[in-house]
Structure 1
Amino acid sequence: MAQAVRYAEYGGPEVLRLEEIDLPEPGPGEVRLAVRAAGMNPVDWKIRRGLFTPGQELAEPRGTGVEASGVVEAVGPDVDTAAPGDEVFAGVGSGALATHVIARADSLVHKPDWLSFEEAAALPVASETAARTLRYLNVQSGQTLLVHAAAGAVGLVAGQLAIARGLTVIGTASEARHEVLRELGVHPVAYGDGWVDRVREAAPDGIDVVLDGSGRGVLKESVALTGDPAKVVTIADGSAADHGVHFTSGGNEKVPAAEVFAEVLPLLHAGKLRLPIARTFPLAQAADAHRLSEDGHVLGKIVLEVG
């Protein structure tokens, strides 16, 4: 048997239950991981609340969590890139908050010894999203990138990747996060009323491209700053089309894990990229992890410790 955090109805964190389930079996091209840690993302509580499926009810209990680290325990047919005992991390379809989870073999990244399971579990979603948005913006050395919600997980990784690629990065964030952003090489400005003037003061030569990770209604002004909606991308604002801005949530736009981590892991190892872990929770306290994420204002990632 295995254990998994699941919910049988949409709602608040209180709907989450730690339940016993049958041990999942990997199919063709899949592996079963014995989970050691799982990352928490805002999309997890948005799905749990039913924000993407208004008016619908769950047909059966559903798991939560889309990224995990662990040890390969079993492999399905046609898998020759991983073997039992391998320490790996990956983005998964769902159900990462569990003792065991199924992952596609082609999504696995082998975990180096210098990276902890908790650190590894925090990486897949934020790293892929950051790489995807920078690829869409076609960022170039010498440009200036504005990141809204620069202290969120995606903003932190995107900002540091951009700096490593030779860009100047301006980031909006609460003033409590400014010192951390400065340490990472990001030029922080406070969000809220007057942010446009503060950005212009911080970047007198202008803003070339914008990544919106906040969803706080900043798209109109961001387009005005760049002069072109194609130079703005959002991962958080559903009104993107109203402004001619591209909204990206993954799907067929995703960057392959091998490509993402060929860049990310060397930067992590060299100390040129950091993704702070805001707090860890045991699996039995998954509701508290969801609650903290939903409250917002988390610096970095929330991680669930499993094994």
Structure 2
Amino acid sequence: MTDTMLAGRLDLRGGGFAVEEIPVPAPGPGQVRIKVEAAGICLSDVHLIDGSLKPVRPAADKITLGHETAGVIDALGPDVPGPWAVGQRVLLQAGERCGTCPACVRFEPCRNVLTRGVDYDGGWAEYALATHHTLVAIPDDLPFAQAAVIPDAVSTPWAAVTATGQVRPGRPAGVWGVGGLGAHAVQLLRLAGAAPVIAVDPLPAARERALEFGADLALDAAAPDIRDRIRAATDGLGLDLALDMAGVPAVREQAVRCLAHTGRLVLVGLGPAPLTVTDSIGFSYREQRILGHYGSQPGHVAELVTLARLHRLDLSRSISGTLPLAEAAAGVERLAKKDGNPIRLILTP
């Protein structure tokens, strides 16, 4: 093995992204080094590069991007427990506990979670470091590309559906925005038993994809009768659960109007605009709720790996293409422009 490697690096101080040659990292206490086999390109990476998203607690002025990573354990640092060994196939959790906040000290869920590829070096590299408790073993028949996207692309909507949204079998659910997260939300709602599953998107290609991923009905967000059509599809009740994957105020207003009595809107897509409810009296009368959501917990990733291992979850359609690590910038541009309507593009070092 050489002493240097390629890595996709973001300059947080001066701006700019480039694939550079940097030293291969050595694992410290409790760490393993991963030979990266696949790393996903997420819309968050696009926003980090264009400057619209900023790391909160970056560890350095330059960061290797990539929070969706899978590969093979290449080396063990001191004090890594026995279950982990060189040669094991793993994916990496998208983040980890800070270890110092009051919640961490009390062994409660961390309130200052550090994100891989945002606050510290991620997986857009030939080799990546990971603390051993962020590893999740993956089965031999799960391709690395599919395993890599489970953290975030799949686990974020899974957590939104099952934990925040508290999906109920046989109850209607809707998804606004059928991009990378939304397509998986449709698939996961169907897996969890929501019925009917209704997708809403202004793009014909996205609506087509929603039907392929298991939606019972796909509607144009611009349709003037969208509320009536959703009511008709739900026996006049409206949606028990709605997921906003777009983070757009107009989407949220539309989704709230389509909720049933005691229905819930989960905000998965992030956006800076104020959150408003036009008919606040009706919202209260119908006892509806709007719930914020961010990311997922480690257990959600483990659940999805189990579902994939038992062939309950098929992620083969999630991979829209692969590119060499050296062409990371081209992949980012392709995702930003929605060239080919990708769900996830994968970098292969």
Q: TM tier, shorter chain?
A: 0.7 to 0.9
Q: Indicate the SS of the match to 2:258.
A: helix
Pick one of 196, 211, 214 that aligns with 1:182.
Answer: 211
Distance change in 2, residues 1:196/1:214 (3 Å): farther
Separation (CA, whole Å) in 2 of partners of 1:247 and 1:202:
26
Distance change in 2, residues 1:204/1:291 (3 Å): farther
Identity of aligned residues (%): 30
Shift of 1:111: 2.4
Distance change in 2, residues 1:182/1:189 (3 Å): same
Separation (CA, whole Å) in 2 of partners of 1:299 and 1:102:
28
Shift of 1:38: 0.5
Q: Indicate the SS of the match to 2:29.
A: coil
The structure number with the bigger radius of gyration is: 2
Alignment of 1:268-279 (within 5 A): 269-270=311-312, 274-279=316-321
Separation (CA, whole Å) in 2 of partners of 1:129 and 1:222:
19
Task: Report if aligned partners of 2:136, 2:302 keep a CA contact under 8 Å in 1.
Answer: yes
Separation (CA, whole Å) in 1 of partners of 2:324 and 2:315:
26
Aligned to 1:209: 241
Separation (CA, whole Å) in 2 of partners of 1:155 and 1:304:
21
Task: Report if aligned partners of 2:6, 2:326 keep a CA contact under 8 Å in 1.
Answer: no
The residue type equivalent to 2:345 in the other structure is: I
Shift of 1:245: 3.0
* In the alignment, structure 1 residue 87 sits paired with structure 2 residue 89: yes
Shift of 1:296: 3.2
1:6-64 CA-to-partner distances (Å, cap 9, x unmatched) read 1325799xx3211111222223332211111100111111122222349xx99622221
Aligned to 1:165: 192
Shift of 1:229: 8.6
Shift of 1:281: 1.2
The residue type equivalent to 1:277 in the other structure is: I
How does the TM-score come out when normalised to structure 2? 0.76
The residue type equivalent to 1:3 in the other structure is: L
Aligned to 2:34: 33
Task: Report if aligned partners of 2:321, 2:345 keep a CA contact under 8 Å in 1.
Answer: yes
Separation (CA, whole Å) in 2 of partners of 1:230 and 1:79:
46
Distance change in 2, residues 1:240/1:83 (3 Å): farther
How does the TM-score come out when normalised to structure 1? 0.85
Pick one of 171, 174, 178 that aligns with 1:146.
Answer: 174
Shift of 1:299: 3.6
Pick one of 98, 102, 107 that aligns with 2:125.
Answer: 98
* Runs of at least 5 residues in structure 2 that lack an aligned partner in the other structure: 95-115, 278-288
Aligned to 1:286: 328
Aligned to 2:286: none
Task: Report if aligned partners of 1:8, 1:58 keep a CA contact under 8 Å in 2.
Answer: no
Q: Indicate the SS of the match to 1:288.
A: helix
Alignment of 1:1-307 (within 5 A): 1-9=4-12, 15-53=16-54, 60-80=61-81, 81-92=83-94, 93-94=116-117, 95-134=122-161, 135-150=163-178, 152-168=179-195, 169-173=197-201, 174-186=203-215, 187-194=217-224, 195-205=226-236, 206-217=238-249, 218-226=251-259, 231-238=264-271, 239=273, 241-243=275-277, 245-250=290-295, 254-256=297-299, 257-266=301-310, 269-270=311-312, 274-296=316-338, 298-306=341-349
The residue type equivalent to 2:140 in the other structure is: D
Q: Indicate the SS of the match to 1:231.
A: strand
Q: Out of 175-184 and 66-75, give the one that drifted further.
A: 175-184
Separation (CA, whole Å) in 1 of partners of 2:13 and 2:219:
37
Separation (CA, whole Å) in 2 of partners of 1:228 and 1:104:
45
